[in-house]
Amino acid sequence: MKKLLATSICALPALMAMADEKKAPNVILLVADDLGYGDLSCYGADRVLTPNVDNLAAQGVRFTNAHAVAATSTPSRYSLLTGEYAWRRNGTDIARGDAGMIIRPECYTLADMFKSEGYTTAAVGKWHLGLGDKGAEQDWNAPLPMALGDIGFDYSYIMAATADRVPCVFIENGRVANYDPSAPIEVSYMTNFDGEPTGKDNPELLYNLKPSPNHGHDQSIVNGISRIGYMKGGGKALWKDENIADSIAAKAVAFIEKNRKNPFFMYLCTNDVHVPRFPHERFRGKNPMGLRGEAIMQFDWTVGQILKALKRLKLTDNTLIILTSDNGPVLDDGYMDRAVELVGSHTPAGPFRGGKYSAFEGGTAVPFIVCWPGHTPKGKVSDALVSHIDDFVSLGSLLGATLPKGTAPDSRNFLATWLGQEDTSRPFVVEQAADHTLSIFDGEWKYITPSNGSKVAWLTGIETGYLPAPQLYNLKTDNGERKNQAEAYPDEVRRLQGLLNKVKEKD
């Protein structure tokens, strides 16, 4: 589209009008945390309603066969922002809150691409890809020497990792937001600080949520909830879990407002519905599934806040929204929030087996909605096979961007499919489970590589899908992955093994 402007001067007015009409839109990549395929009412949930997400789906394309790159957060997000499979890179597994920056400044990121194309860029919400030059060495009381500004984000307001990991503060443009000089911050994932209570030793201080037995999550206490890791100080900067969604939504809306006159890209990541689930009071008691259901409602509310702001600022038609989740769902992920007890007939992973962490589809089959009014067909449901890995090059093609050599090596252009203009499937998707077991799915057959990992993911009760023998499922007839056909169809196993090896050998 940019190229239009470079054509001959005499045609300029007409072309300008055309360029204006076809102007590349603002882009919001909205990523939920641990939200399952079956957690939204437009994907079949009926014990929780998500009217704002449903509305977005009604205006755009809802995909039924979309995949995150990995079944946990850090690798999934790494791939979204770099266009590279996380399993190619060491150090991309679930990051601690004091991890150093995993994506290094020399990497040309999705945010860099938007910035090079004249966009103002932001990351708001959950980050979980490390901060500062080196792990465990950050001084949280000063500007961090390396932060999101170094990888293409003009503005950032983020949680370093997850709400269940210290430090429990927001970081705005590389320094602690609302920093409280009277309460210097110290963080350690090794040892507690003298005299600081922990969930393990002081359960009487856990007035908001208690950890599930044996999961960990019983170290430093912040806001009556114990976490993974130790921290001291923070004072007024410490978050209150019940306000996290409000803070994220407010910063996201402020960014949109500020940039309403120029193109913007926002990577907007909710804390919902990750643990600890402790939504705002206004959602409490509103869902039969308790805190997890209420967290889904809160996620939907966040989506509503964004849609409302766009409408108020008359940006709806010129904003492309991609809504998805980083990985599949989990019920008990470390806190006694009664998610298991209250789930009832709700199926967080929809028809799929397993969930977060799994090699089974429940690990990476995610909700995926693309909406750009006037461009995406209204209410289309697409069964095309798509993967997060393609966001980089597909969005690059939307912008007419030229990418530096070697950028986004695994990403391909499926823009027309993402916009619902055609139904061309990606020829295959590669899925990464928590223990790095890889699977490859070609739209019909799925092959899971052998793994000696545990059959259940920690204490979550989730089936990992790991088996020491090869597994082959026909997802066209058996999307619940019940019948292993590896022995019956050795040729299919060999073909998919070959395809996966080819992908692995690239570079």
Contacting ligand NG6 within 150-209 (CB under 6 A): 162, 164
Quick one: what does residue 416 bind among Ca ion, ligand NG6, none, with the CB cut-off 5 to 8 Å set by partner type? none
Instruction: State which residue, 36 or 279, has the beta carbon closest to ligand NG6.
Output: 36
219 binds ligand NG6 (CB under 6 A): no
Q: How many whole angstroms separate alpha carbon 131 and alpha carbon 121? A: 18
Distance of closest approach, residue 80 Cβ to Ca ion, in angstroms: 12
Quick one: what does residue 94 bind among Ca ion, ligand NG6, none, with the CB cut-off 5 to 8 Å set by partner type? ligand NG6
Contacting Ca ion within 55-84 (CB under 5 A): 73
Instruction: State which residue, 62 or 96, has the beta carbon closest to ligand NG6.
Output: 96
> Residues with Cβ < 8 Å from 226, sequence gap 6 or more?
198, 199, 200, 206, 210, 211, 217, 218, 219, 220
Q: How many whole angstroms separate alpha carbon 54 and alpha carbon 59? A: 9
Q: How many whole angstroms separate alpha carbon 269 and alpha carbon 162? A: 11
Instruction: State which residue, 184 or 216, has the beta carbon closest to ligand NG6.
Output: 216
- Vertex 46: Cα angle to 273 and 343 (nearest 5): 55
Quick one: what does residue 19 bind among Ca ion, ligand NG6, none, with the CB cut-off 5 to 8 Å set by partner type? none
Q: Dihedral of CA 201/240/298/375: which sign?
A: negative
- Vertex 318: Cα angle to 313 and 323 (nearest 5): 95
If you write DSSP's letter for every residue of 367-406 in order, what string do you get?
-EEEE-TTTSPTTEEE---EEGGGHHHHHHHHHTPPPPTT
Kindly tell me which residue out of 31, 32, 33, 219 binds Ca ion, with binding defined by CB under 5 A. Answer: 33
> Residues with Cβ < 8 Å from 203, sequence gap 6 or more?
210
73 binds ligand NG6 (CB under 6 A): yes
Name the β-bridge partners of 123: 156, 267
Distance of closest approach, residue 127 Cβ to ligand NG6, in angstroms: 10
The DSSP symbol for 165 reads: B
458 binds ligand NG6 (CB under 6 A): yes
Instruction: State which residue, 31 or 493, has the beta carbon closest to ligand NG6.
Output: 31
The total number of residues shown for the chain amounts to: 507
Contacting Ca ion within 261-290 (CB under 5 A): none
128 binds ligand NG6 (CB under 6 A): yes
Q: Dihedral of CA 40/157/131/333: which sign?
A: negative
92 binds ligand NG6 (CB under 6 A): no
Distance of closest approach, residue 408 Cβ to ligand NG6, in angstroms: 22
Binding mask 34-53 for Ca ion (x = CB under 5 A): x-------------------
Contacting ligand NG6 within 21-40 (CB under 6 A): 33-34
333 binds Ca ion (CB under 5 A): no
Distance of closest approach, residue 311 Cβ to Ca ion, in angstroms: 29
432 binds Ca ion (CB under 5 A): no
327 binds Ca ion (CB under 5 A): yes
CA distances from 137 to 142, 156, 189, 232 (A): 12, 21, 11, 15
Kindly tell me which residue out of 274, 277, 353, 388 binds ligand NG6, with binding defined by CB under 6 A. Answer: 274
Q: First-to-last CA distance in the chain? A: 31
Q: How many whole angstroms separate alpha carbon 194 and alpha carbon 262? A: 50
Contacting ligand NG6 within 313-332 (CB under 6 A): 327
Kindly tell me which residue out of 51, 184, 203, 216 binds ligand NG6, with binding defined by CB under 6 A. Answer: 216
Instruction: State which residue, 162 or 387, has the beta carbon closest to ligand NG6.
Output: 162
- Contact status, residue 82 vs residue 107, Cβ threshold 8 Å: yes
Task: Return residues touching ligand NG6 (CB under 6 A).
Answer: 33-34, 72-73, 94, 128, 162, 164, 215-216, 228, 274-275, 327, 333-334, 458
